[in-house]
């Protein structure tokens, strides 16, 4: 099996392929280690313009699909202390600008969590475009950003003495995405 390499992301409608993509995050626990998690249900689209900088990216993440490999913690994250998934079931992202530097760049956009929208910038790395052995064109990239959960009204915590708290405020969001032409 081989993959045929191409270099350009062609204009048109693309969709995030969830089976080959991941939306993950890390946050400090007790100030001592990082807890990693992911969201298992998400959709997204990219409308690639002739001028890449004018392209539009939209994504929607099902917050109830949070998975930290600990059912009790996941249930707590779904509660009103954190995501309040009954009232605010989705996290959304809509791009507002793209800076293309070849294999890297920045995607600016509006992230909405818990009904609160904030501007964020994602540092990106573009891995290229290729046609897989089944004739499907694919594009791949990764992106990351760090946000303050307090900026989104998520301020639950337990003080542990001194400057230690149960859960850190800074959350690193990491995306690994494969795109396919939208059908």
pLDDT at 78 over 80: yes
Pick the CATH number of 4-181 from 2.160.10.10, 2.40.128.110, 3.50.50.60, 3.40.50.2000: 2.40.128.110
Mean pLDDT estimate for the chain: 91
pLDDT score for 168:
85
Question: In angstroms, what CA-CA distances link 32 with 14, 81, 144, 166, 168?
Answer: 40, 22, 22, 10, 10
Residue of higher predicted confidence among 165 and 177: 177
Share above pLDDT 90 across residues of the chain, in percent, rounded to a whole number: 73
Average pLDDT for 112-117:
94
Question: In angstroms, what CA-CA distances link 177 with 51, 76, 106, 112, 174?
Answer: 21, 27, 15, 20, 10
pLDDT at 89 over 90: yes
């Amino acid at each position: 099996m081989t993959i045929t390499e191409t270099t350009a992301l062609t204009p048109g409608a693309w969709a995030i392929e969830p089976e080959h993509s991941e939306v993950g995050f890390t946050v400090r626990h007790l100030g001592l280690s990082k807890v990693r998690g992911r969201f298992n249900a998400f959709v997204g689209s990219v409308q690639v313009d002739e001028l890449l900088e004018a392209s539009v990216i939209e994504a929607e993440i099902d917050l109830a699909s949070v998975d930290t490999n600990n059912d009790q913690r996941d249930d707590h994250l779904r509660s009103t202390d954190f995501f309040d998934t009954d009232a605010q079931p989705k996290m959304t992202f809509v791009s507002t600008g793209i800076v293309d530097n070849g294999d890297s760049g920045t995607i600016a956009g509006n992230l909405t969590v818990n009904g609160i929208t904030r501007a964020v910038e994602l540092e990106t790395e573009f891995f290229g475009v290729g046609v897989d052995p089944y004739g499907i064109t694919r594009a791949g990239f990764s992106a990351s950003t760090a946000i303050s959960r307090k900026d989104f009204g998520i301020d639950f915590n337990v003080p542990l003495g001194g400057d230690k708290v149960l859960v850190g405020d800074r959350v690193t969001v990491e995306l690994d995405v494969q795109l396919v032409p939208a059908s």
